[in-house]
Chain A
């Protein structure tokens, strides 16, 4: 299966380990990722906070580029990128005027004929195949699956999983042999980019999420969003400082867990790039 790959800025920078593990896992599952040549920013935050039309035209441009490739699907692992691409697609489908306005802005034709998917969506539709390819099941690890918000909301745009009680990542982790905990903060807000102007608030929010995961008995938190990852991983030191509680809970991308289960050597999955060292976990250290 060949798909157009939209990494977005995070996967080329702060979330490079997400990119590394996505590529490894896709290779193992024979998904041919072809990066869209010349892709531009998805418009997250900066564009949709200032200009609605621009925030749709930017992702539409990258989608138009992808239409030149021989693919049906565009995959965007980053939750924010997925959300913005999906906005352009769905709003254009729902309103012809919007579609026409976007087309006017674009220098190249755009038919809006591609399907935008996130990786969880793709993987959850091939669970059987994944189970059969798992060579190193992670039965000795308990995971809390954390979905964040942008992968699921607003539901009429994302059209993916259950926005209040999502299950796809849980199912995928179970297919990897891992145990998943039932916890209440799967879709709680991590504070996102308030981490710059209001770090105090993000400390509070991430504290609650980490606390809830720990109470539920999780060894690590698995995420699908580079921003969630950043906040949960990077704020643990501040939480220690302000709240006096040291969690040391490793925050991993779901692709990293999947990679390990599929037998990809851990060092090829970017596991050393996290602030909280995943190898604190005996389950990972052993591999």
Chain B
């Protein structure tokens, strides 16, 4: 016979206002199997927990029901208390009489009755509870960082400094990411490359870091502590070990293509290094633009290479590695403004994006830092910026704010004024969102000291007239239409998720939100974690953010990763699915519904018939205890430990048995 204790929480007035907690506690004492019952102001407080521990000792309890808030809040607290009281922690169940009762009702009599019913049901359930023990796994002491932008670089360095091996996988030929494309950073106007390249070099030199550039994630298997990852190292057509980065091949290459790094403003060769400070400093052949690969002739680069590093026969290779933890830092893409037909991007050469302007301002960019407009290579005398292109626009773009555009536009205005002292600057905005340290002051400076003309309102049309672009918009503060003659129009385009991020998310079994941003486990309290244990996120793959926020999140993700790598063993919740092999008919309906790929197939020889059959087996490291398999199983062969059919049916019956007045 079980000896159950029931502990009813007041939660200050949160529960007690709507529920007569003392009456509930008194009635609960009459339930079969309950030997002790009480109520207390805050059950989660130290004295509240002590109350539970003392009662276990004094009344020789073997099961505990806490009637309070949602188990999402305090289940670990009470499990711990029960464990300290000497019981298996899974001999405690919670009845949620706050979120599911006192907070949503106002009839005190009915809510009191409902609280009692919920407790009665939980009492029946806890009687069937089985003792569960946490599961232990060993940890592979190596981290994988996907994405070599500033967030990935920072995370890799932090983990490497803590003494663990890191693989840094980057899709493009060089690490550096978006930040490498910037001339200056806001609001301090640091030279972006001057503060980034030392970190890139640190990564390259660090004995604990292996950089795999021009590489992508092919497959991810396993679970926290034991991820098995296949990485595709794309054919570079240049041997990384032999190449010295002399650049002779690039010099001689006759074929050209638009430079991705220069956002299409400038050109690069078919064999190229994206930018001078690239890491690794090894060229790559763009096989579409290369004459050897497209037409079967040329071969100039191979002939001139002093170290015979050019290898046209190179194929993609696959690297298989085990990792204890993974950090995703794949960054964001830039919105394509071509859908804003009224702005004429793509039709008028002097309508450009901010990313393109960034390259035009950069001294290592296609114009060597001279501010020249694309159409005729002249200095613009009048520049119009349009903010929120693709942001805060449900019609043509995305409803969210991209967070960085107000600041980078102010920075661009600042830099243009520096380069062209007499240029006229106009900035169309909806609101100025200058949220960070020193940001508001910076925008003020651009407005007050640098004379940028901020116009609140949107642009409705841009059209060419006599070699100028006429920007026609609304000034909503003056309530007037304005028309501005511009030589250059810059669209502050939104940040959007990377095109291939959904595919990567699927491989990693992590989720994305409605736009395609990677989902954090909790927006406030677990911002660098995902719902999949051991996988963390950093930088703009989660949502638009500036460099400082990206770096902060990267270090947060790294510290979370280090916390895992430092463990010899990891213990996980024992709430996992278990298959009754005798009942399993091998239909594998469970496999289809498992979001974590935790169901494996196992061969089994039936003792009576001697026949071999295939049955389901749960990988307990992967299983997150969602219970999908248990509900999908047609032969009721799967139970979720802690949520077995027996326990849940007992709980329902407990609810049915309550005598109602």
Contact = CB atoms under 8 A, between A and B. Distances in A.
Interface string A142-185: 00000000000000000000111100000000000000000111
A184 B341 contact: no
A164 B344 CA distance: 9
B463 interface: yes
Contact of A165 (B341, B464, B465, B470): B341
Interface string B321-349: 00000000000000000001110000000
B465 A164 contact: no
A1 B464 CA distance: 42
B341 A164 contact: yes
B417 interface: no
A188 interface: yes
Contacts of B464: 184
Of A162, A163, A164, A185, the most chain B CB neighbours within 10 A belong to: A164
Interface string A192-221: 000000000000000000001001000000
A266 to B, nearest CB: 33
Nearest to B469: A184
Given A164-B340, A183-B463, 12 more contacts: A162-B341, A163-B341, A164-B341, A164-B342, A165-B342, A184-B461, A184-B463, A184-B464, A184-B465, A184-B470, A185-B463, A215-B465
Interface residues of B, number: 8
Interface string A57-91: 00000000000000000000000000000000000
17 contacts: A162-B341, A163-B341, A164-B340, A164-B341, A164-B342, A165-B341, A165-B342, A183-B463, A184-B461, A184-B463, A184-B464, A184-B465, A184-B470, A185-B463, A188-B461, A212-B463, A215-B465
Question: DSSP class of B's interface residues: helix, strand, loop or mixed?
Answer: strand
A89 to B, nearest CB: 21
Interface string B458-475: 000101110000100000
Interface size class on chain A is 10 to 19
Nearest to B483: A208
Of A162, A183, A184, the most chain B CB neighbours within 10 A belong to: A184
A62 B412 CA distance: 56
Nearest to A166: B341
A8 to B, nearest CB: 28
Contacts of A212: 463
| Ranked 6 nearest A-B pairs via Cβ | A184-B463, A164-B341, A165-B341, A164-B342, A162-B341, A184-B461
Nearest to A162: B341
Nearest to B340: A164
Nearest to B395: A155
A272 B461 CA distance: 35
Contacts of A164: 340-342
A215 B466 CA distance: 9
Contacts of A215: 465
Contacts of B340: 164
A33 to B, nearest CB: 33
A167 to B, nearest CB: 11
A141 B340 CA distance: 31
Interface in B100-159: none
Nearest to B462: A184
A249 B342 CA distance: 26
A216 B478 CA distance: 31
A248 to B, nearest CB: 22
Nearest to A204: B481
Of B340, B463, B465, the most chain A CB neighbours within 10 A belong to: B463
A147 to B, nearest CB: 13
Nearest to A185: B463
A70 B341 CA distance: 40
Contacts of A183: 463
A163 B460 CA distance: 12
Contacts of A165: 341-342
A5 B207 CA distance: 80
Nearest to A189: B460
A215 B463 CA distance: 12
A164 B341 CA distance: 5
Contacts of A188: 461
A184 B464 CA distance: 8
A254 B470 CA distance: 28
Contacts of B463: 183-185, 212
A165 B344 CA distance: 9
Interface string A19-39: 000000000000000000000
A230 B463 CA distance: 25
B345 to A, nearest CB: 11
Interface in A209-250: 212, 215
A183 B341 CA distance: 13
A165 B464 CA distance: 14
Contacts of A184: 461, 463-465, 470
A101 to B, nearest CB: 26
A215 B340 CA distance: 24
B483 to A, nearest CB: 9
Nearest to B339: A164
Contacts of B341: 162-165
Nearest to A184: B463
Contacts of A163: 341
Interface in B382-415: none
A215 B461 CA distance: 17
A217 to B, nearest CB: 13
B393 to A, nearest CB: 14
Interface string B342-369: 1000000000000000000000000000
A279 B341 CA distance: 36
A183 B461 CA distance: 12
A219 B340 CA distance: 29
A105 B465 CA distance: 52
A188 B462 CA distance: 12
A185 B461 CA distance: 9
Nearest to A215: B465
Contacts of A185: 463
A263 B83 CA distance: 96
A185 B472 CA distance: 11
A163 B339 CA distance: 11
Contacts of B470: 184
Interface in B218-257: none
A228 to B, nearest CB: 17
B469 to A, nearest CB: 10
A184 B471 CA distance: 11
Nearest to A165: B341
